[in-house]
Every structure is written in C-alpha cells, then in structure tokens.
Structure 1
Amino acid sequence: MIYFLRKVIWMVPGFTVDQYRDRLRQLHDRINDQGPFVAHTTRFLIEARKPA
C-alpha cells in the first residue's frame, strides 16, 4: 500500500508514512485478521487536442 500511495501522489496528496502510521497499522492489522481487501477505482482517459 505504501509503494502504491507514493507512486500515485494524487490519491492522497502529501502522503507520508509518519503522517498515516496509525491508519497504516490499522490496515495491516485488518489484513492479518480478515485477509486481503479489494479496492476499486475509476479511471478516465482524457485526450485533448488543440483546434486546427
């Protein structure tokens, strides 16, 4: 999760491990207790062109 959040900086602007340590620990504990989680996201491809 940390690698993902560091790569997609627009998902959680200003993400740092120190700032989110407690939430990351909660997620870690949840995964250990309940198994993997599924997350869904929507993406858009926007193509812009200058008028001719």
Structure 2
Amino acid sequence: MEFFDVGAIVWILRKCPWWVPDFTVADYLPQLRELNSRMRRGEPFVAHSTRHLIIASTR
C-alpha cells in the first residue's frame, strides 16, 4: 500500500487496530509529524504486508 498523506495513515490505523495496538495520535505525534514532513517532500509511505489463508477441518 502507498500512502500520500498522514491523514490516510491515521485513518487506516484506527480501522485496523491490530496493526498498532493502542494507537493514538497523541502517542505517535512526533513520528507522524516526521512522516508528514517526508510526505510533503514527495516521499510516499509504502507499507508491505503478508497474508495467510488457513483452511481448517475437523476430519
């Protein structure tokens, strides 16, 4: 995923709380400000994730 603004990152972290448990803007404000500075210089934030499909049966 590519993010081009900090607001989008805050939104996704609030919608997917398992990515950063107990995320709050106040707790991560210094990091978000730094990230915002980078993004304003034209550097998107790129996030990579891995997903697994587990199929379970009761045989």
With the length of structure 2 as denominator, give the TM-score of the two structures. 0.72
Gaps of 5+ in 2: 1-8
> Relative contact order (C-alpha < 8 Å, sep 6+): which is higher?
2
Gaps of 5+ in 1: none
**Do residues 10 (structure 1) and 6 (structure 2) align?**
no
CA deviation after TM superposition for structure 1 residue 46, in Å: 2.2
Please identify which structure carries the higher helix content. 1
Please identify which structure carries the higher strand content. 2
**Aligned pairs, number:** 51
Number of the residue aligned with 1:43: 51
- Which has the larger Rg? 1
- Shift >2 Å, 4+ stretches: 45-49
Which piece of structure 1 moves more, 31-40 or 20-29?
A: 31-40
What do you get for the CA RMSD once the two structures are aligned? 1.4
With the length of structure 1 as denominator, give the TM-score of the two structures. 0.79
Number of the residue aligned with 1:24: 32
Q: What is the DSSP-based 3-state SS (H/G/I as helix, E as strand, rest coil) of the residue aligned with 1:31? A: helix
